[in-house]
């Protein structure tokens, strides 16, 4: 396996800003493909039904059209949707992933066509084995079609502004009474520690009680080591409450 | 640095939302063109989003917000920095009569390789059948061809093989489907650095050579030519063109000795590959119709001379088309 395999694709713009796009995992892509297969089956079934019900067509013509419709839908489904929806099929849309140019440029029709045609080889010998192995071996999780078309499949992020209201457990923050210490705390808390603290608050309800206690104990200890507040301001505070108060100082002014 | 996230998102979110709306508009209409004023505003929003990301990156921990800004910036980046091709509407006629033959000629070396492999396979197949007739069952592509040519010709000429009557349309559609799948498969195998395509083209040649040798040896060359030429004069070149596309792809994967990395090489051949396989697809539609509605009729219904003549005319027309058409076509003409 390629040891330089990445979970993100990093692009550096000419303006000097680097951004990383998370790559879609193999399982997500497989699930999206299963949804697409189901969609293709439904659409071809409906098309076959419609064709068989058409008056004035001979049995031979109906069968011929059914065969051609299946070919057209099976090849054209992903090509058409990925082009019109900028890299997404129904399955990809449902699982919030999309096809993207490897250099983050606009996806071209020729890229969409090529990656979908080479799917025929990626599916060999059974169950997408060639494509799956290629995804696991390549640095940016590309199947053969992606390699040939210079594309990657990425996760599409949606805006989720952190709910800072959860930090404010109570209106009174005893640490704020010591303005100079609060200012020192704001300077000393590292972004990483603040981020871990914020995540801990946002996810507290999904943690086991014992784990939660241990996590907030560790966080409080780390934060207390940065600035020492007078005992009367901290002695009645539980570890979680202490962390909330620190984060409230750090993230809001 | 730690941001006042509340204030930061409240101040910047309207700009992110505006950028998102403009991107959605562009994404919904691939032919959408911005006015100068819109482009200026779009560029401003792009830069503002980049600046937001730069600030968010410094706080390291705001993973969700950072992921959103990165995704938004990636979409905007694609629109800002894309400089390939024009935004002209794609024209099927210009593509078929211009780009396809021009692309074919531009990669004629790959076609020659595809042809050479098929000829080598044909020679091998013919030689194998002539030297070892017992190998016939292993060489024939399908069971029906294992009967002796004399029996088949006698049956066809008596008009006994009317099993297609009332099914010609379906048969034609199945031929188109099968041949298109073979062409796509041949192209796709180019991704194996051409190894798979070499095997497929050689094997196609082996089957063709074995069938041809069987009928010629039995003295039924006119029947063979009348049977294969009407559709084969288009179908076989179409598969060769699919092989040509496969070798263009393999060449881009392997490298051509010039100072270009693999990504640049692949980017350069994406459009030619799609054009070649698309052209082969059009040829296979024609071949499928001819095979079902014309090739299956034999003497005395249609004289062999007529069938052979038709096939030869098709082959000449195809040769002239591929060698002469699209001479004025240039790469900037279509946005494929």
**Nearest residue in A to B49, CA atom:** A17
Of A71-80, A173-182, B142-151, which one has max mean pLDDT?
Answer: A71-80
- Distance of alpha carbon B264 from its chain centroid, rounded? 20
Check: CB of residue B132 under 8 Å from CB of residue B217: no
Please give the full DSSP string across B126-168, using - where no structure is assigned: HHHHHH-GGGHHHH-SSGGGGS-HHHHHHHHHTT--GGGTTTH
Instruction: State the number of CA atoms in the 13 A half-sphere of A59 facing the CB.
Output: 3
Query: Distance (Å, rounded) from C-alpha B192 to C-alpha B41?
Result: 46
Give the residue-averaged pLDDT of B275-288. Answer: 93
Alpha-carbon gap: A227 to the closest alpha carbon of chain B (Å): 17
Query: Choosing among B77, B79, B90, which should be mutated to test the A contact, i.e. which has the most A CBs within 10 A?
Result: B77
Name the residue with higher pLDDT: B41 or A4.
B41
A43 vs A25: CA distance, rounded Å:
27
B226-229's contacts with Cβ under 8 Å and 24+ in sequence apart are B226/B298, B226/B299, B226/B302, B226/B304, B226/B307, B226/B308, B227/B295, B227/B298, B227/B307, B228/B295, B228/B311, B229/B307, B229/B308, B229/B310, B229/B311, B229/B312, B229/B314, B229/B315
> For chain B, what's the residue count?
336
* B80: closest chain A residue by CA: A105
Lowest mean per-residue pLDDT among A2-6, A239-243, B175-179, B260-264 = A2-6
Chain A hits for B197, CB-CB cut-off 8 Å, are none
- With tokens 């060698």, the residue in question is B323
Is pLDDT of A35 > 90? Answer: yes
- The C-alpha atoms of residue A74 and residue A44 are separated, in whole angstroms, by 8
Task: Using the predicted structure, report yes or no on whether residue B285 has a pLDDT greater than 50.
Answer: yes
Most confident of A24-38, A121-135, B26-40, B157-171: A24-38
What is the DSSP code (8-state) at residue B301? Answer: T
Q: Which residues of B touch A196 (CB under 8 A)?
A: 61
For the residues B21-42, what does the mean pLDDT come to?
82
Say if residue B1's pLDDT is above 60.
no
Q: Is the peptide bond before A125 cis (omega within 30 degrees of 0)?
A: yes
What local confidence, expressed as pLDDT, does residue B314 receive?
Answer: 95
Residue A1 has pLDDT above 50, yes or no: no
SS3 for chain A, per residue? Answer: CCCCCCCEEEEECCCCCEEEEEECCHHHHHHHHHHHHHHHHHHHHHHHHHHHCCCCCCHHHHHHHHHHHHHHHHHHHHHHHHHHCCCCCHHHHHCCEEEEECCCCCCCHHHHHHHHHCHHHHCCCCCCHHHHHHHHHCCCCCCHHHHHHCEEEEECCCCCCCCHHHCCCCCCCHHHHCHHHHHHHHHHCCHHHHHHHHHHHHCHHHCCHHHHHHHHHHHHHHHHCCCCCCHHHHCCCCHHHHHHHHHHHHHCC
Asked if A19's CB is within 8 angstroms of B30's CB, the reply is no
> Among all residues of chain B, which has the CA nearest to that of A106?
B78
Do the Cβ atoms of B274 and A22 come within 8 Å? no
Higher pLDDT, A80 or B64: A80
Q: Rounded to 5 degrees, what angle do the CA atoms B266, A98, B192 make?
A: 35
The chain-wide mean pLDDT, for chain A, equals 85
What is the predicted pLDDT for the residue at B186?
Answer: 92
Give tens-digit pLDDT for B185-233: 999 999 889 999 999 999 999 999 999 999 999 999 988 999 899 999 9
| Mean of pLDDT values over A14-41 | 89
Question: For residues B245 and B234, what is the distance between their CA atoms, to the nearest angstrom?
Answer: 17
Least Cα distance to A17 among B44, B52, B1, B75 occurs for: B52
Question: What average pLDDT score do residues A112-141 get?
Answer: 90
Please indicate if any CB of chain B lies within 8 Å of the CB of A121: yes
Q: What percent of chain B has pLDDT over 90?
A: 41
**Above pLDDT 70, what percent of chain B?**
89
Supply the pLDDT for residue A3.
43
Structure tokens at B162: 């009317």
Per-residue confidence (pLDDT) for residue B2, from 0 to 100? 55
**Residue A202: how many other CB atoms lie within 10 Å:** 15
Higher per-residue pLDDT: A33 or B293: A33
Q: What is the pLDDT of residues B70-110, one digit of tens each?
A: 888 888 888 888 766 555 677 889 899 999 999 999 999 99
**How close are the terminal C-alpha atoms of chain A, in Å?**
48
Q: Assess contact for B241 and B278: CB atoms under 8 A.
A: no
User: Mean per-residue pLDDT for B170-197?
Assistant: 88
Residue A170 above 70 pLDDT? no
User: How close does chain A come to B98, measured CA to CA in Å?
Assistant: 17
Contact A82, A74 (CB under 8 A): no
**Given this model, what pLDDT does residue B161 score?**
54
pLDDT at B84: 62
Average pLDDT of the residues of chain B: 85
Q: What pLDDT score was predicted for residue A166?
A: 67
Question: Hey, how many other C-beta atoms are within 10 angstroms of the C-beta on B22?
Answer: 19
Which positions in chain B touch A162 (Cβ < 8 Å)?
5, 62, 64-65
pLDDT at B335 over 70: no
Query: Quick one: pLDDT band at residue A187, thresholds 50, 70, 90?
Result: confident
Cβ(B64)–Cβ(A160) under 8 Å?
Answer: yes
Average pLDDT over residues B7-34: 83
Cβ of A72 under 8 Å from any chain B Cβ? no
The CA-based angle A220-A223-A224, given to 5 degrees, is: 80
Q: Compute the count of residue pairs across chains A and B with CB atoms less than 8 Å apart.
A: 201
Residue of A nearest to B59 (CA): A191
* Residue-wise burial string across A23-45, b where 16 or more C-beta atoms lie within 10 A, e elsewhere: bbebebbbbbbebbeebbeebbe
pLDDT at B331 over 60: yes
Q: Residue B319's CB: how many other CB atoms inside 10 A?
A: 12
Task: Report d(CA A83, CA A108) in Å as an integer.
Answer: 8
Question: What local confidence, expressed as pLDDT, does residue B330 receive?
Answer: 72
Contact A110 B167 (CB under 8 A): no
CB atoms within 10 A of CB B170: 21
Write out the H or E segment, with its range, that includes residue B172. helix B168-188
A63·B167 Cβ contact <8 A: yes
Taking alpha carbons only, the member of B321, B311, B171 closest to residue B231 is B311
- A252 in contact with B at a CB cutoff of 8 Å? yes
Q: Does A110 touch chain B (CB under 8 A)?
A: yes
């Amino acid at each position: 396996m390629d040891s330089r395999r990445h979970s993100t694709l990093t692009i550096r713009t000419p303006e000097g800003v680097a951004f990383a796009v998370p790559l879609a995992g193999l399982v997500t892509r497989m699930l999206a493909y299963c949804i697409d297969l189901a969609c293709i089956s439904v659409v071809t079934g409906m098309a076959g039904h419609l064709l068989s019900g058409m008056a004035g067509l001979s049995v031979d013509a109906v069968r011929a059209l059914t065969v051609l419709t299946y070919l057209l839908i099976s090849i054209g489904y992903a090509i058409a949707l990925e082009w019109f929806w900028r890299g997404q099929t129904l399955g990809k849309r449902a699982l919030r992933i999309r096809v993207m140019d490897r250099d983050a440029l606009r996806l071209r029709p020729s890229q969409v066509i090529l990656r979908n045609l080479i799917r025929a080889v990626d599916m060999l010998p059974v169950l997408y084995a060639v494509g799956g192995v290629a995804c696991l071996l390549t640095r940016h999780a590309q199947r053969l079609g992606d390699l040939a078309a210079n594309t990657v499949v990425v996760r599409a992020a949606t805006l989720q502004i952190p709910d800072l209201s959860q930090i404010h457990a109570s209106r009174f923050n005893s640490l704020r009474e010591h303005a100079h210490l609060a200012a020192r705390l704001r300077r000393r808390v590292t972004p990483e520690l603040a981020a871990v603290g914020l995540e801990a608050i946002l996810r507290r309800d999904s943690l086991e009680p014992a784990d939660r206690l241990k996590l907030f104990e560790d966080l409080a200890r780390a934060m207390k080591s940065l600035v020492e507040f007078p005992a009367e301001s901290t002695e009645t505070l539980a570890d979680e409450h202490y962390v909330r108060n620190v984060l409230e100082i750090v993230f809001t002014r | 640095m730690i941001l006042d996230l509340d204030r930061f998102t409240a101040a910047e979110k309207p700009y992110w939302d505006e950028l998102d709306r403009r991107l959605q508009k562009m994404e919904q209409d691939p032919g959408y063109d911005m006015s100068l004023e819109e482009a200026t505003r779009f560029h401003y929003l792009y830069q503002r989003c980049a600046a937001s990301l730069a600030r968010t990156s410094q706080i390291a921990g705001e993973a969700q917000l950072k992921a959103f800004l990165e995704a938004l910036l990636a979409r905007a980046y694609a629109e800002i920095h894309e400089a390939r091709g024009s935004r002209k509407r794609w024209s099927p006629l210009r593509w078929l009569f211009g780009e396809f033959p021009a692309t074919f000629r531009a990669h004629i070396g790959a076609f020659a390789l595809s042809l050479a492999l098929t000829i080598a396979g044909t020679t091998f197949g013919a030689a194998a059948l002539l030297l070892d007739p017992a190998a016939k069952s292993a060489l024939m592509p399908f069971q029906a061809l294992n009967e002796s040519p004399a029996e088949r010709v006698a049956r066809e000429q008596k008009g006994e093989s009317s099993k297609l009557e009332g099914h010609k349309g379906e048969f034609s559609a199945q031929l188109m489907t099968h041949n298109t799948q073979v062409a796509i498969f041949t192209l796709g195998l180019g991704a194996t650095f051409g190894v798979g395509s070499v095997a497929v083209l050689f094997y196609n040649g082996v089957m063709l050579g074995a069938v041809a040798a069987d009928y010629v040896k039995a003295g039924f060359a006119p029947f063979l030519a009348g049977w294969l030429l009407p559709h084969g004069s288009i179908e076989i070149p179409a598969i060769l063109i699919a092989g040509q596309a496969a070798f263009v792809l393999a060449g881009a994967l392997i490298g051509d000795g010039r100072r270009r990395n693999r990504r640049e090489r692949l980017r350069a051949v994406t459009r030619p590959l799609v054009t070649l396989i698309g052209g082969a697809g059009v040829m296979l539609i024609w071949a499928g119709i001819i095979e079902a509605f014309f090739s299956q009729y034999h003497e005395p219904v249609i004289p062999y001379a007529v069938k052979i003549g038709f096939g030869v005319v098709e082959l000449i027309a195809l040769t002239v088309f591929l060698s002469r058409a699209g001479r004025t076509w240039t790469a900037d003409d279509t946005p494929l």
